[in-house]
Structure 1
Amino acid sequence: MGAIRGFITRNSLPEYYLQQASIWFDPIVETLIGHHYSAGRTLVVGINGCQGSGKTTLADYLCTCLQAKGLRSIAISIDDFYLTRQQRQQLATDVHPLFSTRGVPGTHDLELALETLQQLSQDNGDVKVPKFNKAQDDRLPKTEWPHVETPLDIIILEGWCVGITAEAEEVLLEPVNELESLRDPQGKWRNYINQQLVTNYPELWQLIDRLIMLQAPSFSCVYQWRLEQEQKLTQEVALKEEALKDDTSKNNHIMPAEEIRQFIQHYERLTRHALKYLPQNCQHLFQLTHKRQVVAYQAPNPLPGDPRFGQRDVTLKGL
């Protein structure tokens, strides 16, 4: 119980989160444990959800519960594999200026991601795990990466684009928002992203044994959810500065509200794409309200050996 209390504290969550988690997420913990022992190897679990949907919190909860049950587990964000700011600036120069902004496929170091997951799955002793500092918009130096003892039983990889596949080429012809209309009128940026999903990202996605999706009601929720994320990040930075007696705000890249509105347009196309097709292609689907509360669970694409979750379709009213 102490581990769960620590989870609530470090995520600044209300007590009722545990009530929801026990209903919806605890059964997933049990099925992940069963699948790990059945597979007899490290299990890689993906979590997809649009920005601010709660995927990082869910990853932490699952990891906390798994560790409490004796399984060696880690929760990693695909964000930690972003290219450095310098590398993205080079990509922006070589391909398209929009690649200076982190987030979309093409802005991750996939070689580093694949190498890290492989090392975490093997008995390599001490492994360093990359860490990205969003407040500074850059990867931390390797000397500051956390150390993890391997091999692990379960690796949880979460991110807004985890599991997303490419769109049909004809869909790319028309812009989906003002950003694409004004800054990518010829479609070079979005076509490059799509090509990355065709050629490079499948190798990473194929490592995922089970995919969980937190399905937002629509893309319209993303702005408010992302705004709340940034406000939380601002508070965390302020507390850190106060504790260290160090004003590092001049090095931070925390975004005001209007910048967030522009920022999320980078992700709109693929977020809408994911909301359409991923629900039929994941093993565990949680449907959310605009307040990020789970109201339904389905297992639309169960794996062999999952009789408990294969046909389950539950809706809870009133949450």
Structure 2
Amino acid sequence: MSTTTLCQPTALSKQCLTAVSNLMQTHKLPTSFIDTVKDWYWPIAKQITELKQQKGQTYYLAINGSQGSGKSTMAAFLQCIFEHQFDLSVANLSIDDFYLTRKERKHLAEHIHPLLATRGVPGTHDIPLAIETLKKLSELHNNVQLVRFNKAYDDRAEKHLWDKVAAPVDIVILEGWCMGLQAQNPADLYTPINQLEQMEDSNGRWRKFVNAQLEEHYPDLFNMFDQLIMLKAPSFDCVYKWRKNQEDKLISQQSTRFTMDQAELNRFIQHYQRLTEHALESLPDYANLVIELNEQQQFVKAKGAAYDFS
């Protein structure tokens, strides 16, 4: 991939700038964040809009990023620009919305491996539901239900709380930490990479199941997308620090969402370590756009032959 510089004259309309400002306040972002919007999100949104116009039909955009990388923030601001600058309809989803219910994960934990009770890894998502939803979003439907997951209760939200959109929509955004990821070589699964795998998956059954799900079922979802953007963290150590900062913020705010102490967080993040490190190593080779982050979660460099930010 070629390295590109994101420098392009800002031409956001007054209406769009107002919407962006309101969104920054909602996300409690500093005023300096407008530079990120102008220098990064705006050029991306502009080019995707052009690609959508060329395609004619619903355009599917996937965003990959580790925990704390800012993928949901990117999705929100891209949606804002699409809607208020280009008058496009957008369905903004997270792969987290498609987690299996707690009851379904309990079944997996009892019949396959106890670690599958914890949501997150491939095999804990309802892929058929995700595919069905994304297909409906490109067809003529008055109301397409967008499933939502309630992390406070670790279960799927009740249906009356799901969002509804009129379809077809112009752009579908789906963000998630494992979006676009390919399965590992089976030989790479043999050696545990952390204490969780060593102590709770000594025979490798859990990681082999996860890898098989990623190989057999997730490509049907990933192949629906026209474009994949990756937000690339410097290392897994940074991912842990970012996730801990998120947890500390929730605790300080006395959030109603379930929070974890350091020992609980350390165990939880180990569920994601193997595939996060695999993504950092392998995904840049075939993502359409890779945006590299520094340790402060700031965008520093973009790589992507399909993009022209000059």
Q: Equivalents in 2 of 1:296, 1:127: separation in Å?
A: 37
Deviation digits for residues 219-255 of structure 1, max 9, x if unmatched?
Answer: 00111211222344456774xxxxxxxxxx5xx5322
> What is residue 55 of structure 2 aligned with on the other side?
39
Q: Equivalents in 1 of 2:128, 2:246: separation in Å?
A: 28
Whether 1:293 aligns to 2:310 is no
> What is residue 257 of structure 1 aligned with on the other side?
262
> What is residue 55 of structure 1 aligned with on the other side?
71
Once the two structures are TM-superposed, the CA of residue 275 in structure 1 deviates from its matched residue by 0.3
Once the two structures are TM-superposed, the CA of residue 180 in structure 1 deviates from its matched residue by 0.2
Greater mean alpha carbon deviation, residues 128-137 or residues 182-191? 128-137
> What is residue 22 of structure 1 aligned with on the other side?
38
Q: Equivalents in 2 of 1:292, 1:59: separation in Å?
A: 16
* Matching residue within 243, 250, 255 for 1:226: 243
4+ aligned runs moved over 6 Å, structure 1: none
Amino acid in structure 2 at the alignment position of 1:290? E
Q: For the aligned residues, what is the CA RMSD?
A: 1.5
Q: Equivalents in 1 of 2:201, 2:119: separation in Å?
A: 16
RCO higher in 1 or 2 (8 Å CA, sep ≥ 6)?
A: 2
Amino acid in structure 2 at the alignment position of 1:268? Q
> What is residue 131 of structure 2 aligned with on the other side?
114
Q: Equivalents in 2 of 1:289, 1:154: separation in Å?
A: 29
Amino acid in structure 2 at the alignment position of 1:270? L
CA 1:39–1:64: 2 relative to 1, 3 Å: same
Once the two structures are TM-superposed, the CA of residue 24 in structure 1 deviates from its matched residue by 1.8
> What is residue 275 of structure 2 aligned with on the other side?
270
CA contact (8 A) 1:106 1:196 kept: yes
Q: Equivalents in 2 of 1:14, 1:94: separation in Å?
A: 48
Structure 2: runs of 5 or more not aligned: 1-16
Q: What TM-score, normalized to structure 1? A: 0.88
> What is residue 9 of structure 1 aligned with on the other side?
25
Structure 1: runs of 5 or more not aligned: 239-248, 313-319
Greater mean alpha carbon deviation, residues 187-196 or residues 291-300? 291-300
1:163-312 aligned within 5 A: 163-234=180-251, 238=255, 249=256, 252-300=257-305, 302=306, 308=308
Amino acid in structure 1 at the alignment position of 2:62? G
Q: Equivalents in 2 of 1:223, 1:165: separation in Å?
A: 22
* Matching residue within 134, 144, 151 for 2:161: 144
Amino acid in structure 2 at the alignment position of 1:114? I
Identity across matched positions, percent = 43
Once the two structures are TM-superposed, the CA of residue 84 in structure 1 deviates from its matched residue by 0.7
> What is residue 95 of structure 1 aligned with on the other side?
112
Q: Equivalents in 1 of 2:149, 2:251: separation in Å?
A: 16
Aligned length: 293
Amino acid in structure 2 at the alignment position of 1:296? K
CA 1:234–1:145: 2 relative to 1, 3 Å: farther
Deviation digits for residues 156-197 of structure 1, max 9, x if unmatched?
Answer: 100000111100010000011000000000000000001001
Q: Equivalents in 1 of 2:213, 2:297: separation in Å?
A: 30
